[in-house]
Structure 1
Amino acid sequence: MKKLLVITVYIFLFIASTGCSHNAELPVEANEPEMENTVNPFQSNDEDIGIMGSISHGPSILNVDENNHRVPWVYDGKEIYIEYRVKASGKAKNMGFFIFVDGIPQPYKVDDTKAPYEYMHTFELKEDDVDLPFTFIFSPVTGKQGETLDLTITSIYNPRFMPDMNETSSYGGYHGLLPAFYQLSFEADGKAPDDQSREVKGTINLSKEPVTNKFMEILNNNNFMQDIDMDVFNSQIFSLIYYDGSSIMDHYKINDDGTLHVTYKLCGHGGLEYTTTFYINHQPISIGEGTSIDTTIEKGSVSVIELDINLDNLEDFNTFYAISAPKNARDFPDGIFEAEKTQSILLYKKGE
């Protein structure tokens, strides 16, 4: 019998109309994967349900106006400093952070303005439920003077974990996201840092296909949290991903060279705009001169992104996933349109 294991995560939601802060408890549930002769990182020995830990994060200082309403951070041409804090408990004390500006991955520094830009920084908290303060520092990679764009700050749980195909072959419930949503106002044009480097490259093709009964059947088979019908599309988005035409849950053996063909499908509320980024070992894959692909979801259609990844520069063991970050979720206040992440899988080159 499978055990249901739960990580409880928290996030401070700042309500603009009152300026108050609240804790919102967001349970993330993961069925224990069936793994022959492996150790599941989420195994609980004594109970069918266990609370593994909790995470919360948010700004150390609320960015509000004289009426105590939340206001955007401002970019004036100089690096932005966002004072932030995170706390966690239990097995949740290892985490990383991503930043997205208008859905585009944003490299940043932590605390030291002279440090190099990185797309993800990791943190190892020593004590339970004790705030760790730090500062995000960055110059936005996109944005024009006069614009106000969405700014997403999301944690990723235990990013350092990678199966070794010896003791473990699955990520279990690790690498889940906990996003927080803000805004960034531009008094100057954004500019990309000079020291971005992305070794893994890929090419893409974009298309649309209709939502069919077969597609809905597959979507329901891949989602154990709820029954999905066309009405659910009005409040959520969903994704499917295939590797060389196959649905892979945990790990996939790849060649030393050549390409891997990835098919990523995104559907949901018509009019939603998402920016999708594919990651190898928590670094964006280079696609042309950028890192991301914009898609606009159409009612009754599935947005399809086909990606061919050059395998030459991959390591023997690689974590792969996709993140689709919303660009215009604030235009749809009645829905729950958050960053969508595929399950992490292991791409490996050597024997099992």
Structure 2
Amino acid sequence: MKKIIFLMVPFILLIFGITNLVSCGKEKEIALDYTSTENPFSEETSTKILGKQSHGFMKHLDDFEYITYSGQEIEIEYFVELEGISNNIGFLLFVNGKPQPYKIKNRIQNYEYLHSFNVDNGREEFTFQFDVTSGQKDEIADLAIVSIYNPEFKPDMIETT
């Protein structure tokens, strides 16, 4: 124990000595010119917006409102809006970080982890249906719905680099 303290004292003194050397020095004044009237955001840029996407719950949930798992299949009313060239989107559902297979009510009858949607410049409404694969009845869990842009893209490895 005494050896450790004996070795630490010079190390601590060395650190304080270096900090003092670095912090000592002449102060320099820097004059800043705030009188410029140029607006850096007024210039036209070559940025082109290709599209936009948004998605969310059909019903707004308050801060303390939850989707309740009663031991039966959960249904979540959801929407997606796509504009521009983005016309293909997919969704993944996670409960407590674990992926959940789901189906789309009245459309897609298979339980899968990822379903993709083609929406041509508009809004589409649908309902997720899923059973929680991990968790128990009346347990509070985190639900994350993640979107994937263009999930059907398959690169041509010969023509595309």
User: Would you tell me which structure has more helix in proportion to its own residues?
Assistant: 2
CA shift for structure 1 position 78: 1.2
> Greater CA radius of gyration, 1 or 2?
2
Alignment of 1:1-352 (within 5 A): 48-64=46-62, 69-112=63-106, 115-126=109-120, 128=121, 130-169=122-161
The TM-score normalised by the length of structure 1 is 0.32
Q: Distance in 1 between matches of 2:54 and 2:107?
A: 25
Q: Distance in 1 between matches of 2:123 and 2:72?
A: 28
User: Would you tell me which structure has more strand in proportion to its own residues?
Assistant: 1
User: Does the aligned pair in 2 maintain the 1:113–1:137 contact within 8 Å?
Assistant: no
CA shift for structure 1 position 112: 3.1
Q: Give the SS at the match of 2:75.
A: strand
The TM-score normalised by the length of structure 2 is 0.67
User: Does the aligned pair in 1 maintain the 2:69–2:139 contact within 8 Å?
Assistant: no
Amino acid at match of 2:73: E
Structure 1, unaligned stretches of length 5 or more? 1-46, 170-352
Q: Distance in 1 between matches of 2:71 and 2:108?
A: 17
* Structure 1 moving runs of 4+ over 3 Å: none
* Larger RCO (CA under 8 A, 6+ residues apart): 2
The sequence identity of aligned pairs, in percent, is 43
* Corresponding pairs, count: 117
CA shift for structure 1 position 56: 0.2
Amino acid at match of 2:134: T
Change in CA separation of 1:113 and 1:92 when aligned onto 2, cut-off 3 Å:
closer
Structure 2, unaligned stretches of length 5 or more? 1-44
CA shift for structure 1 position 132: 0.4
CA shift for structure 1 position 70: 4.5
Q: Distance in 2 between matches of 1:95 and 1:167?
A: 24
CA shift for structure 1 position 71: 1.2
Q: Give the SS at the match of 2:72.
A: coil
Coordinate RMSD, CA, aligned: 1.9
